[in-house]
Amino acid sequence: MKKYIVLLLSGMVVLNLHAQEETPVDGKTTKKLTKEQKIEQRKADEEATAKMVAWMVENRKFVLEADYLSNQTGERIMVNQNINFIMIDSLKITIQLASVSGIGGANGMGGITTDGMITKWEVHKIGKTKNNYAIHLVTMTHIGTYDISIDVSPYANADARISGNQMGKLNYHGRIVPIGQSRVYKGMSI
């Protein structure tokens, strides 16, 4: 009986030592492959996003969902992206500003929503690699005429500056998404 226990223990020790010897090599190889695979996957994702951004800008079909709003002095506030957005659909535009409280406002959501038509559209590729977009558009809505400048990165990050006939500017900071994938909620338009 002692022989069986000694054989069993020695077998477990040998298996344990064997497993300890191979684990660091396999672990390093696995980490290296995983890191390379992650890098390749990230590059593929970035290329797909850049193609989608190019398509959205060329076809004028996207929604800038704002995470932040700021004024001309740079004061930023965090906002809900589902209710603060600029939607561009071909020649149509919707601009919405709303509050999470939803109290007051002309749109029933503590802010304002306006629809309009785009009367001027200019796109320029900018940056060292010419993969960023600078969009300038003029829009006519029921509450006024607005100049809007939108800067879009190939990663879909976007900043928009809106100025109108009145003093002051409003800036939207967020991401652009295809209209079909956007989850925005539109209030009552003026």
The 3-state DSSP class for residue 29 equals helix
- 6 has a pLDDT exceeding 80: no
**Side chain identity, residue 168:** G
For the ranges 16-25, 116-125, 146-155, the lowest mean pLDDT is seen at: 16-25
Could you read off the pLDDT of 91-144 as tens digits, one per residue?
Answer: 999 999 998 887 778 888 889 999 999 999 999 999 888 899 999 999 999 999
CA atoms of 103 and 115, how far apart (whole Å): 21
- Tokens at 125, concatenated: 């590729």
Could you read off the pLDDT of 139-148 as tens digits, one per residue?
Answer: 999 999 999 9
Model confidence, pTM: 0.80
The 3-state DSSP class for residue 96 equals strand
Residues 6+ positions from 189 with CB-CB distance below 8 Å:
94, 107, 113, 114, 115, 142
- Nearest to 112, CA basis, from 122, 102, 126, 123: 102
pLDDT band of 166, cuts 50, 70, 90:
confident
CA atoms of 176 and 171, how far apart (whole Å): 14
CA atoms of 177 and 66, how far apart (whole Å): 11
Q: How far is CA 16 from CA 11, 13, 21, 23, 25, in A?
A: 9, 5, 9, 11, 15
DSSP lists the bridge partners of residue 152 as 133, 158
pLDDT band of 12, cuts 50, 70, 90:
low
